[in-house]
Each structure stands twice: as C-alpha cells, then as structure tokens.
C-alpha cells in the first residue's frame, strides 16, 4: 500500500498539472457535491449523467460517483476505492496526457477483446478485479489467426516459400 508521502505527492501533482481542477469543474457542472475522501482524494457524489455507465470514475484526484461518498468509502468497497485511487496516481504521473493515452488503451482493448477495460493497461494497472472488471475475456478470433501467422512466418499448411 502506498504511504502518506505518495498520497501527498499524488495530490500535489494532480493539483499542479490541472487534472484535479478539471475533475472539480466537471463535478460542479454536473451538480455533484464534493466531499473529502481518504488519502488526499476528493469524492464528488451524486453525479447525475448517464455517461459513463460506470458507478464511478476518476479525474485527477477526484473520484466522481453516482452514489454517495459513504457508499464508496464503505468497508466492502475498499478495493473499488483503491482502484480509483490508483487512477489518481496515473493522473499524477501523466497529467493531461492521461486522457489520450487512456483512450488509446481503450481502443486497443476493444480492438482485441470487445471490452474497453480488459486489455487496457491503465485498468489492468489499477487492478481489474478491484474495479469490478472481468479479469480476462477471450481475444477476438482474428487476433488468434494473426498470432499463428506471425509465429510460423507464413500461412498455415505451407512448409516452404513458393519457388523453393
């Protein structure tokens, strides 16, 4: 578990790089109420929009939830809170670059599996199971076919290049 020094650094970095300000502005624009969470994270409760479908998501050091802060901070949701806090750490490191990097990772994951989270580095790094994501979804069939071709260097059934 990350220590107090990391929590302070994460909170400071997300404040300086502007991502927490964006999270607070989004929360305010959506009518969410801001509450203090644990470890320097803020919770914007009662987010009213339907997008994204997730119960909560993070922007900077602000966890935005459709539920109450008490719901998110309940002992049985410690893992979910930890998952979202790890995203705050990702924002601390990447700042505004988090958004394009995250969406590229979503596209990669959807391309491979039809799920935006399972093969998304950011979600995997935050803990798939902690964020209530499936841990594994089979790769699309074309990915398996591509893997076989790359492994053998040619189409299946061919033993030598043409003309040899």
What does the DSSP 8-state code read for residue 53? -
What does the alpha-carbon distance between residue 162 and residue 152 come to, in Å, rounded to a whole number? 15
Q: What is the full per-residue pLDDT of the chain (164 aa) written as tens digits?
A: 467 888 999 999 999 999 999 999 999 999 999 999 999 999 999 998 877 888 899 999 999 999 999 999 999 999 999 999 999 999 999 999 999 999 999 999 999 999 999 999 999 999 999 998 888 888 888 887 776 666 555 554 555 555 54
Nearest alpha carbon to residue 63 among 36, 95, 30: 36
What does the alpha-carbon distance between residue 91 and residue 74 come to, in Å, rounded to a whole number? 24
pLDDT attached to residue 159: 52
pLDDT attached to residue 153: 54
Does the predicted model carry a pTM greater than 0.75? Answer: yes
DSSP-derived 3-state class of residue 66:
coil
pLDDT attached to residue 33: 96
pLDDT attached to residue 144: 75
What does the alpha-carbon distance between residue 53 and residue 61 come to, in Å, rounded to a whole number? 20
Domain ranges of the chain: 4-95
């Amino acid at each position: 578990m990350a220590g107090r020094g990391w929590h302070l650094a994460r909170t400071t970095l997300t404040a300086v790089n502007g991502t927490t300000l964006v999270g607070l502005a989004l929360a305010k624009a959506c009518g969410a109420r801001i509450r203090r969470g644990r470890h320097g994270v803020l919770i914007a409760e009662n987010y009213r929009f339907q997008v994204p479908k997730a119960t909560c998501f993070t922007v900077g050091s602000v966890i935005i939830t459709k539920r109450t802060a008490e719901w998110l901070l309940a002992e049985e949701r410690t893992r979910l809170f930890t998952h979202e806090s790890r995203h705050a750490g990702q924002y601390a490191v990447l700042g505004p670059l988090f958004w394009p990097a995250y969406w590229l990772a979503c596209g990669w994951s959807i391309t491979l599996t039809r799920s935006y989270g399972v093969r998304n580095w950011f979600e995997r790094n935050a803990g798939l199971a902690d964020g209530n994501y499936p841990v594994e979804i089979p790769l699309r069939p074309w990915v398996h076919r591509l893997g076989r071709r790359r492994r053998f260097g040619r189409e299946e059934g061919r033993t030598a290049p043409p003309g040899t």
